[in-house]
Amino acid sequence: MRHAVSPTILLLIACGALAARSLADAPDAVPQNKQTTLGLYTTAKDAYQMWRAAPLETIVLDVRIPAEYVFVGHAPMAYNVPFAFWQSDVFPDDGEPVMKPNPDFVEHVKKIASPDETVLVMCRSGKRSAKACNALIKAGYKKVYNIVDGFEGDAVKDRRSAAFAKRTKNGWRNSNLPWTYQLRKNLMYLPEKKREE
**84-86/99-101 β-pairing:** antiparallel
Locate the domains of the chain by residue range.
39-182
Indicate the DSSP class of residue 157. Answer: -
Residues whose CB is less than 8 angstroms from the CB of residue 142 and which lie 6 or more positions away in sequence, other chains included: 38, 115, 116
| Cβ atoms of 98 and 90 closer than 8 Å | yes
CATH class of the domain at 39-182 = alpha beta
Other CB atoms within 10 A of residue 89 CB: 6
Question: pLDDT tens string for the chain (197 positions)?
Answer: 334 555 554 444 555 555 555 565 454 689 999 999 999 999 999 999 999 999 999 999 999 999 999 999 999 999 999 999 988 776 777 667 788 999 999 999 999 999 999 999 999 999 999 999 999 999 999 999 999 999 998 877 888 878 777 778 889 999 999 999 999 999 999 877 554 54
d(CA 109, CA 115): 10
CA-wise closest residue to 22 among 50, 43, 37, 38: 43
The phi and psi torsions of 146 (rounded to 5 degrees) equal: -85, 125
Measured torsion, CA atoms of residues 2, 4, 8, 12, in degrees rounded to the nearest 10 = 30
Q: Answer yes or no: pTM beyond 0.85.
A: no
Q: What is the pLDDT of residues 130-174, one digit of tens each?
A: 999 999 999 999 999 999 999 998 877 888 878 777 778 889 999
Query: What is 116-142 written as a DSSP string?
Result: TSEEEEE-SSSHHHHHHHHHHHHTT-S
